[in-house]
Amino acid sequence: VKCNYPGRPTNGDIDGTSPAIFGTVATFSCDDGFSLNGNSEIICQANGKWSGSKPSCVCKMLPPQ
């Protein structure tokens, strides 16, 4: 059973094997200055779907100086 490539988030990256088969874990991270909004990991399930959706990377608000 294979899952479709979830894609990397804008301003971020994905670590995982391709093609993704049952049990594969996709781990997401964000570039410097961005924080992850959503799941940091999703797993390819036996039904060919991911356990969650791709997260997004949002710009961190810097405090005024």
Helix (H, G, I), strand (E, B) or coil at 22: coil
Residue pair 9/58 in contact by the 8 Å Cβ criterion: no
Any idea what DSSP says for residue 64? P
Is the preceding omega at residue 19 within 30 degrees of 0, hence cis? yes
Per cent of the chain over pLDDT 70 is: 95
- pLDDT at residue number 15: 94
Domains of the chain, start order: 2-59 (2.10.70.10)
pLDDT digits (tens, 9 = 90+) for 3-45: 999 999 999 999 987 789 999 999 999 999 999 999 999 999 9
